[in-house]
Structure 1
Amino acid sequence: MMKELELKYGCNPNQKPARVLMEHGGLPFTVRNGKPGYINLLDALNGWQLVRELKAATGLPAAASFKHVSPAGAAVAVPLDETLKKVYFVESIELSPVATAYTRARGADRMSSYGDFVSLSDACDAQTASFLAREVSDGIIAPSYSAEALDILKKKRKGTYLVLQMDEAYAPGTLERRQVFGVTFEQQRNTIAITRDCLADRPTKNKDIPEAAKRDLLIALITLKYTQSNSVCYAKDGQAIGIGAGQQSRVHCTRLAGQKADNWHLRHAPQVLALPFRDDVRRPDRDNAIDVYIGEEWEDLLETDDWKRVFTEKPPVFTRAEKKAWIAKAHGVALGSDAFFPFGDNIERAHKSGVSFIAQSGGSIRDDNVIAACDKYGIAMAMTHIRLFHH
């Protein structure tokens, strides 16, 4: 087993030399194709932990789409309905459970997933590899690969696509270390398990959290465990639909993630599903066009001929009133926070995106204000008493 591996460079090209190494034993992964970079491995190892824990908590194959050491999306293998197949452009594609999980993870925020690092809890099969072959992605980590899947992936990016195979039996030590500016930090690894037990304390008047909502809250919380803090995650139907990472203010996390969740809902609208794309439009350009169409820039774009680059005809304006009315239909959304909500303004913003269930640590001096805000909208909230900061 290899004890160390030379990398192309560190976080930036000027940071050379760079390597990863083990103090004891060999590296817990094998490079099956390509050459890893520093950030690739940070994404891979964080993503592997996330999907492993998602599968343990739900019993379903899991996938994550990582960018810059935070997930852009995470999901488990809940079957797609016909509308969601259209939203994710997979109507005619047969998807295995693990391919379904990644399709959901990638679909949470396709713009942020551009050039992602993929993590799978289960073996990568040919269906997943075929789906990946058409997407812009930097690499993948999985416990194993079918021969056909490996052959498909080795052809991606002119043969340079990074393929890592993780040793499922690997268990790290209880302590972890890192250096910052020549100073060594040491702490116990965050081994706390996120289970349904952490949803038992429900101080709100509405205490009803159905099984599907419990699953979605677990997905949100486990996703947050590997998201740069402060962080908030909206989840629905077995997947994250909006992740707000690395914000200094918690309400800014809630707003950022809420806007992404709103965009996810808007992509289900008939106006978006009926967009007349040209046949020669690449997927990234299509995704960008959808983002512009549901955003505030569309009416400005109509004043030019730029729409002709992606559409066969000029789509109608998706008005602000129509978008607001569509988002108002959202309901049953689960929301997790990596620490307590200090003010009820977070609940007010979450309500606008259809949140019906919340899991947060509790412990604020204004918990009563947050509980009252939930009661105002009939939201069921669990206090987990678990903080999930990740840096």
Structure 2
Amino acid sequence: MAVLAPKVEMPDLVPMKRALFSVSDSTGLIDLARALHERGVALVATGSTCKALVSAGLPATNVADVIGFPEILGGRVKTLHPMIHGGILGIRNEPTHAAEMAEHGIEPFDLVVVNLYPFEETIAKNADYATAVENIDIGGPAMVRASAKNHAFVTIVVDPADYASVLETLEANGGATSLEFRKHLAAKAFARTAAYDATVSGWFARVLDIETPAYRSFGGSLREVMRYGENPHQSAAFYVTGDKRPGVATARQLQGKQLSYNNINDTDAAYELVAEFDPDETAAVAIIKHANPSGVATASTIAEAYELALRSDPVSAFGGIVALNRTLDAEAARRIVEIFTEVIIAPDATDEAVAIVAAKKNLRLLVAGGLPDPATPGLTVRTVAGGLLVQNRDAGRIGVGDLKIVTRRTPTAAELADLIFAFRVAKHVKSNAIVYARHGATVGIGAGQMSRVDSSTIAAKKAADAARTAGLEETLAKGSVVASDAFFPFADGLLAAVEAGATAVIQPGGSMRDDEVIAAADAAGIAMVFTGMRHFRH
């Protein structure tokens, strides 16, 4: 049922006479309050905020004195009172509202400055359940939403970054704020509470293992406005969610021009892939182009791994993203900057490596401080017309003990190691995915084709092309293993791999024609293992 309410006549300029403060982040608070006081604005504040203002020599009135009631229940109740919310929500130019406010001695607030309890920061520190719940703000969002609703008269500020613009607006309008200014701050305020509530509800779903909550919200804060999206005619922006998973959103950019929309997407894909390989066991490098790997390799050093990854497809690597699972050192940096590279991302970088990369002023260098845990699911979200597709991140991992040998020939120890490596890479290749690998490095990748046979053919061609570029007479696929992200529906895809020179195959299995495919592998004398796990990536 629609709420019937008085029609609000929205004035353009509203003089600022009284301000209410309740902040958990005191950044810029004293400077703002002092500037307002010098303009003759009366200051009212909640407990600790009021103490901070008084300690700075400012004449602030405690909310408890306004409502005639102390903060109670450990601070859970302090602003939920008609003297506060009446002063926020009252329609000043509506006779009934004005009369009721006068009758009850309710003074209006022209400015409300609130930032919320640090719930996002609390859960990022893995706080226990009770601590997290106690950091869910109630009074703050209520004041924010009330002020934003009544933006006809109230200026609501939820971000210290807006303090300066408030003072500039007051200076420009003789101590008043404009309606247009209040509208924009109100929109920001509602977005802030929406993102806050999304974080709270998402946390509940996670800790209670509610996989499909009846309502699902996602929120983020603006990191930067992009120059454009995937294409120049598309607008775009980068929002961060507060998730502390190491990656492009948490990384420090040490140098280089602004990241583009495509850079961020590709860098995320590269870093998630390279994190599949434990840095304590091996160095790993992934080179990504258009969200697909062109080359991935493991070795004893980052420089050696880069050389092997580059060899897999040196043509596609031009203008690519390079991700490392260990610190970028000088040796690797010298090699990487020899060709045009868009982004390098690593857990860290030595000073010498940073200096080497600095010679390429446009090359972006990101240090993430750590690697994402590939076994932690998290969520992925994709929009469709009228809805959202939400799923757990693909955290599936296969070890040697999970494999089922289905052919007469058993893979050798070296083949088993390469099969596991190739299947991990295939997990990060767009379907249909085919990955040839040898000695811990890819030698040919086929991605995103409508037919798995086409992916096999492309991957084989990449291996042959890479061999010619390296001055080798024999294709790099000779003696390799091959991974498929999903089952072979027919034997033709497998036979294409055999023809290219593969000696062992890893695939999920599960096709109606598995027996036919196994028979083809046996006839060719190759080994094949089933994982029972598929890695489609669309």
Which range, TM-score by smaller chain? 0.7 to 0.9
d(CA) in 2 for partners of 1:169 and 1:233?
Answer: 24
Provide the residue aligned with 1:350 in structure 2: 497
Moved more, 171-180 or 104-113: 171-180
Moved more, 175-184 or 98-107: 175-184
d(CA) in 1 for partners of 2:377 and 2:452?
Answer: 32
Kindly indicate whether the alpha-carbon contact (under 8 Å) linking 1:3 and 1:25 is maintained by their aligned counterparts in 2: no
Provide the residue aligned with 1:368 in structure 2: 515
Q: 1:136 to 1:25 in 2, by over 3 A?
A: closer
Q: CA deviation at 1:73?
A: 0.5
Provide the residue aligned with 1:38 in structure 2: 261
1:237 aligns with 2:439: yes
Alpha-carbon RMSD = 2.3
Provide the residue aligned with 2:287 in structure 1: 65
d(CA) in 2 for partners of 1:17 and 1:336?
Answer: 36
d(CA) in 2 for partners of 1:15 and 1:180?
Answer: 17
| Identity level (%) | 34
Provide the residue aligned with 2:340 in structure 1: 136
The C-alpha deviation readout for 1:200-229, integer Å capped at 9, x for no partner, is x1110101x222212211221111111111
1:187 aligns with 2:410: no
d(CA) in 1 for partners of 2:267 and 2:477?
Answer: 33
Q: CA deviation at 1:127?
A: 0.6
Q: How does 1:183-262 map to 2 (within 5 A)?
A: 183-199=387-403, 201-207=404-410, 209-262=411-464
Q: How does 1:81-96 map to 2 (within 5 A)?
A: none
Q: 1:205 to 1:166 in 2, by over 3 A?
A: same
Moved more, 374-383 or 34-43: 34-43
From 379, 388, 392, the equivalent of 1:175 is: 379
Q: Matched residue of 2:483: which SS?
A: strand
Kindly indicate whether the alpha-carbon contact (under 8 Å) linking 2:398 and 2:531 is maintained by their aligned counterparts in 1: no
User: How many residue pairs end up in the alignment?
Assistant: 313
Provide the residue aligned with 1:5 in structure 2: 223
Q: CA deviation at 1:161?
A: 0.9
Code of the aligned partner of 1:335 = V
Code of the aligned partner of 1:75 = A
Code of the aligned partner of 2:459 = A
Q: Matched residue of 2:278: which SS?
A: helix
Kindly indicate whether the alpha-carbon contact (under 8 Å) linking 2:407 and 2:522 is maintained by their aligned counterparts in 1: yes
Q: Matched residue of 2:449: which SS?
A: coil
Q: CA deviation at 1:129?
A: 0.7
Code of the aligned partner of 1:203 = V
Q: 1:184 to 1:54 in 2, by over 3 A?
A: same
d(CA) in 2 for partners of 1:188 and 1:17?
Answer: 25
The C-alpha deviation readout for 1:239-297, integer Å capped at 9, x for no partner, is 001100000111111111111122234445xxx36xxxxxxxxxxxxxxxxxxxxxxxx
Q: Matched residue of 1:258: which SS?
A: helix
Q: Which has the higher contact order (CA 8 A, sep 6+)?
A: 1
d(CA) in 1 for partners of 2:433 and 2:378?
Answer: 25
Moved more, 105-114 or 174-183: 174-183
Q: Matched residue of 1:9: which SS?
A: coil
The C-alpha deviation readout for 1:74-127, integer Å capped at 9, x for no partner, is 00016xxxxxxxxxxxxxxxxxx1011111111101111111100000000001
Code of the aligned partner of 1:76 = T
Q: CA deviation at 1:195?
A: 2.1
Larger Rg: 2
Provide the residue aligned with 1:311 in structure 2: none
Code of the aligned partner of 1:28 = T
The C-alpha deviation readout for 1:306-351, integer Å capped at 9, x for no partner, is xxxxxxxxxxxxxxxxx7xx45x96421000000001111122111
Kindly indicate whether the alpha-carbon contact (under 8 Å) linking 1:43 and 1:117 is maintained by their aligned counterparts in 2: yes
Code of the aligned partner of 1:49 = E
Q: 1:169 to 1:101 in 2, by over 3 A?
A: closer
d(CA) in 2 for partners of 1:48 and 1:169?
Answer: 8
d(CA) in 2 for partners of 1:170 and 1:105?
Answer: 21
Q: 1:15 to 1:236 in 2, by over 3 A?
A: same
Q: Matched residue of 2:277: which SS?
A: helix
Q: Matched residue of 2:354: which SS?
A: helix
d(CA) in 2 for partners of 1:28 and 1:170?
Answer: 11
Kindly indicate whether the alpha-carbon contact (under 8 Å) linking 1:55 and 1:76 is maintained by their aligned counterparts in 2: no
d(CA) in 2 for partners of 1:144 and 1:52?
Answer: 14
Provide the residue aligned with 1:280 in structure 2: none
Q: 1:176 to 1:205 in 2, by over 3 A?
A: same
